[in-house]
Amino acid sequence: RIPRDVAIAHITELGALTPLPTIHSPFIPTDPALSAASPTSPLPTSPPPDLDTPDELAIRSLLLGITHRTAGAYGPALAFLVDAHARHTQVKVSTWVGGVALFELAVLALKQAQARTEGVPGVDAAQSDVGKEELGEVESREVWLAAMKEAEGRLEKALALATQQVDLSSRLDSRIAMLKDEMAMKREMLAMIV
């Protein structure tokens, strides 16, 4: 629900925390100090990293995925969300990260379909890495159906991770139910297109 400029500000802050993210983003500058160092000169002693637990790294990836999606950078959003989900087996406290990452991946699949068929809401076409395509009604319907199938698969996996022992499981369950309702309404609308 945040505007694009606020999302980019969050990306800049989160992307500056060490260790630096290894996923390429147009909003996260590469560290000039590392690229300027010659391979033969030793790197200066650096302070301890800002993020030093699997939980912190997983949450940063999750937040970077969400904020990149908001900014219209769907490629990096996908990479960060996949990274957040991949780290869920290592987290100790933030057991909700895996399920939320899968939920956000489902949302991303639907946002990508929306971008291809309608454009990215609130983001100028030149600022997004997914643009509106000139699709007919039937092609547009197929894009949506494929995205919903992908989203449903991810939502089922998210539900499987959201057990009673997982923090925020009831909140995640509610969000999944609401998204499924929205997808059902979209499916009804698409059924009218022949």
Q: Could you report the per-residue pLDDT of 103-130, keeping only the tens digit for each?
A: 999 999 999 999 999 887 767 667 778 8
Name the residue among 169, 17, 152 with its Cα closest to residue 97: 169
Read off the pTM. Answer: 0.87
pLDDT for 44-88, tens place per residue?
A: 677 899 999 999 999 999 999 999 999 999 999 999 999 999 999
Residue 32 confidence (pLDDT) above 70 = no
Cβ partners under 8 Å of residue 51, min gap 6: 17, 18, 19, 57, 60
* Calpha distance 89→107 (Å, rounded): 22
Contact status, residue 76 vs residue 22, Cβ threshold 8 Å: no
Q: Which helix (H) or strand (E) holds 21?
A: none
Contact status, residue 162 vs residue 99, Cβ threshold 8 Å: yes
* Residue 77 in tokens: 């959003």
pLDDT reported for residue 133? 83
- What is the sign, positive or negative, of the torsion defined by CA atoms of 142, 176, 84, 87? negative
